[in-house]
Amino acid sequence: MSFIVELLPAFADNYIFLVSDRDLGLAMVVDPGDGEVVVRALKARDLHLSLILNTHHHTDHTGGNDLLQREYGAPVIGPAKEKSRIAGMSRAVGHGDIVTFSTLRGEVLATGGHTAGHISYYFPQLKALFCGDVLFSLGCGKLFEGTPAEMWESLKLLRALPDDTQVYAAHEYSEANAKFALAIDKGNEALKARAAEITALRKAGKPTIPALLGNEKICNPFLRADSTELRNSLIKGGIGAADADAAALFGLMRSAKDRFGGQKL
């Protein structure tokens, strides 16, 4: 079996992910915010769509569901806690459930915080994590419906996955995220290297996604809220508080990033 994971750019900075089984001519799509983008890609590759996965209810992740269901009859799998907010959901899933596409098995992880019911999909055979708007390269999603503690728990869950996991984050925010990360974690050499890589990729017009989880674990400040070095750096920078636990420190970082800007969603 040969599977291919492709990024389909949509809107200003979204990525829709197309996973195809080229032997069978079948595809699944993750977070199709724009259905026409997906239809064009499927036609160009002569693929039939057999599954739609949604991570959360935001329109830039679900807006194409309707068109794709009509064109291909593909079922939509999405978060059980957001069933009432995603029209036409065929199957509602939660933490621990398994989704299947061809011979692939994907594990559903509860990753609330950006939205209350947000889920992620981890496919061990592909070494691929589809994490919607929870984890970005060098950043994380905004807390629209959750608390810092909930988001920190979600990020810890993702951080526990193997280092060789490819992180398919749904937005190209890496350049802006790198600016903030470098401002608060000045001594981090691995971060400097990743930031330079991001600059070079963007200069060449290439995506910075997927990101390697093992590298994010040492570079992404939002995965390092329990690091002593980062804590000290945040206190020196006037963001951290000595008595804050990791979840609170994460929340202070997230608020500082909101003020810093460069991230819409």
The active-site residue, picked from 31, 34, 60, 185, is 60
Nearer to Fe ion, 61 or 231 (CB): 61
HSE of 212, CA atoms in CB hemisphere, 13 A? 11
Q: What is the rounded distance in angstroms from the CA atom of residue 192 to the CA atom of residue 44?
A: 38
Q: What is the smallest separation between the CB atom of 56 and Fe ion, expressed in angstroms?
A: 6
The nearest distance, CB 193 to Fe ion, in angstroms, is 29
Q: Is 13 a catalytic residue?
A: no
Q: Which two tokens stand for residue 254?
A: 């997230």
Q: Is 118 noted as a catalytic residue in this protein? A: no
Taking residue 1's Cβ as centre, other Cβ atoms within 10 Å add up to 10
Q: Which pairing describes strands 119-123 and 104-110: parallel, antiparallel, or unpaired? A: antiparallel
Which residue in the list 31, 34, 114, 185 is annotated as catalytic?
114
Q: Judged by CB, which is closer to Fe ion: 34, or 133?
A: 133
Assess whether 57 carries a catalytic annotation.
no
Helix, strand and coil content of the chain, in percent to the nearest 5, comes to 40, 25, 35
Residues at the interface with Fe ion (CB under 5 A): 58, 133
48-53 and 76-79 beta bridge pairing: parallel
Q: In this complex, which beta carbon is closest to Fe ion, that of residue 3 or of residue 15?
A: 15
* Catalytic residue status for 95: no
Q: State the nearest-atom distance from the C-beta of 133 to Fe ion, in Å.
A: 4
- Active-site positions? 56, 58, 60-61, 114, 133, 171
